Structure 1
């Protein structure tokens, strides 16, 4: 009897059965990362912990900034920062995402010249675009600055200085992810950068006794340029050991043709998720914008889950698509949807439970933003239910369809913002964003099913 029991409790390798044993084996497999699936899991776990750590740092930094600057100056800083995120996120023109596709294809085919050409050419292009847009932006502010509220004008001038380094880091993020160098992709922008901002603004507070949105803008310049230069040096050292030293071959036409639809996708998504703050600046005071922005930043941990999964998986979709391995592709898509939804659900419940005390840390007036959390999470959970479906479509040649879907979602979001904000204020902005994200998620689900035959939804029925 004891022999039978022993046999039932152990597998062929002598490892005890049961949940604890399976859990141990899963952890060991992820740490070893001997298969594509476990490598992706390990990368996703690392990415999540980096972003979770950065969420804590970012939350503390935003709390300190709100306390140091006050709700009015914090609202001005939030407007300038969101403008930087939108413009800086659009500058790479889809090259970071397209790079995850091209790098995988060139490495698989042994086309080292094209690989080296893309790695170097895309980075030089980003610096050139960032510099050009900075100069044109400064000219535009000089010519049409009278149309902008003067309290926003100088911070907008200052963030233009950040654009070349910001664009460079965006494309280097995509390159580093493709080689599973998730530490290099995320640590500097999401861990080091906010610490530098805190140090600069905090140092100003100690030295001068006060700080404002202009101080925050100068801190952004220092943090972005320092981390951008350091990331470039570290990435180049790793690439030299990984990529053969061959003559560069540039294929600008296919790169641009592939990148432009992805650029449209990412442009519409960037606008979709940030239009609320920009439209609020038309109807509401900086104090109200600060309260809304604090609510959005409080929910940041939820969005880090899909970010982490995407960081680990996008290039694998491209790889499986290039090799034609349909079974691995479908299984991997199911995995990534599950990796996205369940942790996002847990994070959502935790943030709703802790939302009010977290907002209080920004300042007593910021607690007014607590009801907004319950509205905003509806859109975030709708997106989590379909996982990184947009990256699946982009990596598998359906970037045009994805761009169209995002265009529709952005248009809906814009209409809803201009309709609901005058009627309901901050709640109107939250509803506009959530309803647009829900519509986008539904369209992406049907788009992936119709064009790729993939069932990208948490209730798949297959395991």
Structure 2
């Protein structure tokens, strides 16, 4: 009997390994993590080289404008980066590929109208604020192309897969300003904020071309549809109302990311803005893994939004929660023990940002441990509730950061930002549990039902 049983173990192990290779969930999760880690590493290299090439004052000017332009890019999307993930899946199930392509055309037309209009307004605002026409034109062009790239990334992720979407956003465009800063350092050439945006515009154009080719190939490979296209799409009024709610949530997310640097640059000086921006970028490093997990989870949440308590959503959030807990623990240790070394990469002048770095790490950790709450609420029909809560905290963050910056400088602003992040994470998670019936936080893993605590109507 023992001799007969021995060959079964390798066979079962082999079957298990084959099952893991063929399951799309773990495979896509691993791909999302690899792209996010690689992209974040490249972004960090890009910023450190830019800081060394520019100097602290010029880097502060860049950080101020980069934050403002990134916010502008999020604002002109009008919620379509999230709406297409919902509409594509619904239209595909209701009317087939032709209906899904009709939903894609509707969102794409809106983005291609809104993004250039927003870019023109951004360029004019920059010139009115005192920037030259060349800088203003480059800034406006960057905001337009960044918005289209963000939208294209969500489209490609949904239609053609994570590699064709997030690969271009995380890696391709960042290679160009990274190379520009490195060349400037090696050759002793000047490297200013407008130089960065010029290189970035070229990189984004290349990324968009590759992205469009991937989406086009995926669409051509889809079978022709036979279902009714018109009835498969939501009425324009319903789509517009949902898009407006998603837009508000996206704008509030962007404000949470970029408002601090903008306010510090406005109220204090470019030097403080540069120090804060460097600290914030390093503090976000340990959340690389959780950010990659959110790339994976956003697609899975959109797929299973109709049944949020079902096994598909359950498995996706369990994968995300377990990996997030490990990432936060290891990342906090790296930031606290090696923060000074990481700041050295920006330059000796950035040593003053160490205490703000440690403080900001607490706020980033709180948001990461809360899990993909924004995606869960926005993609399961609770985008209005999310927008209300996030909006209140954005206003609170602006008021607290501005007041603390004027009273206690960089340390006060960092402390206010971290406390606002902690409070926002707690309130959003409580609302998600109450409204959706899901606890997507890391703490949900320790409950009897994993990340779930029952469902509510």
Query: TM-score normalized by structure 2?
Result: 0.88
CA contact (8 A) 1:73 1:286 kept: yes
What is the CA–CA distance in structure 1 between the aligned matches of 2:11 and 2:397, rounded to whole Å?
53
Q: Does 1:106 align with 2:83?
A: no
Taking structure 1 as reference, are residues 25 and 216 closer, same or farther at Cα in structure 2, changes over 3 Å only?
A: farther
Most deviating of 67-76 and 377-386: 377-386
Give the 5 Å matches for 1:29-44: 29-33=19-23, 39-44=24-29
Give the 5 Å matches for 1:84-103: 84-103=69-88
CA contact (8 A) 1:127 1:165 kept: no
Taking structure 1 as reference, are residues 65 and 266 closer, same or farther at Cα in structure 2, changes over 3 Å only?
A: same
Q: Which one of the candidate residues 9, 19, 31 is aligned to 1:14?
A: 9
Q: Does 1:315 align with 2:310?
A: no
Q: Does 1:418 align with 2:413?
A: no
Quote the offset at 1:54 in angstroms.
1.6
Q: Which one of the candidate residues 432, 435, 438 is aligned to 1:448?
A: 432
What is the CA–CA distance in structure 2 between the aligned matches of 1:154 and 1:192, rounded to whole Å?
25
Quote the offset at 1:409 in angstroms.
1.2
What is the CA–CA distance in structure 2 between the aligned matches of 1:123 and 1:141, rounded to whole Å?
27
Taking structure 1 as reference, are residues 402 and 117 closer, same or farther at Cα in structure 2, changes over 3 Å only?
A: same
What is the CA–CA distance in structure 2 between the aligned matches of 1:74 and 1:324, rounded to whole Å?
44
Quote the offset at 1:159 in angstroms.
1.2
Quote the offset at 1:458 in angstroms.
2.1
CA contact (8 A) 1:201 1:211 kept: yes
Quote the offset at 1:205 in angstroms.
5.5
Matched residue of 2:443: which SS? coil
Taking structure 1 as reference, are residues 116 and 179 closer, same or farther at Cα in structure 2, changes over 3 Å only?
A: closer
**Which stretches in structure 2 are left out of the alignment for 5+ residues?**
451-457
CA contact (8 A) 1:178 1:315 kept: yes
Most deviating of 66-75 and 226-235: 226-235
Most deviating of 349-358 and 315-324: 315-324
Taking structure 1 as reference, are residues 138 and 328 closer, same or farther at Cα in structure 2, changes over 3 Å only?
A: closer
CA contact (8 A) 1:295 1:373 kept: yes
CA contact (8 A) 1:123 1:168 kept: no
Quote the offset at 1:154 in angstroms.
5.7
Taking structure 1 as reference, are residues 315 and 57 closer, same or farther at Cα in structure 2, changes over 3 Å only?
A: closer
Matched residue of 2:224: which SS? coil
Q: Does 1:432 align with 2:413?
A: no
What is the CA–CA distance in structure 2 between the aligned matches of 1:137 and 1:248, rounded to whole Å?
37
Most deviating of 269-278 and 338-347: 338-347
Give the 5 Å matches for 1:311-460: 311-322=295-306, 326-460=310-444
What is the CA–CA distance in structure 2 between the aligned matches of 1:28 and 1:356, rounded to whole Å?
44
Deviations 1:304-356 (A, max 9, x none): 32321222122322333325763443454344333333223222222332221
What is the CA–CA distance in structure 2 between the aligned matches of 1:26 and 1:58, rounded to whole Å?
37
CA contact (8 A) 1:80 1:155 kept: no
How much is the aligned-residue C-alpha RMSD, in angstroms?
Answer: 2.8
Quote the offset at 1:203 in angstroms.
4.0
Query: TM-score normalized by structure 1?
Result: 0.87
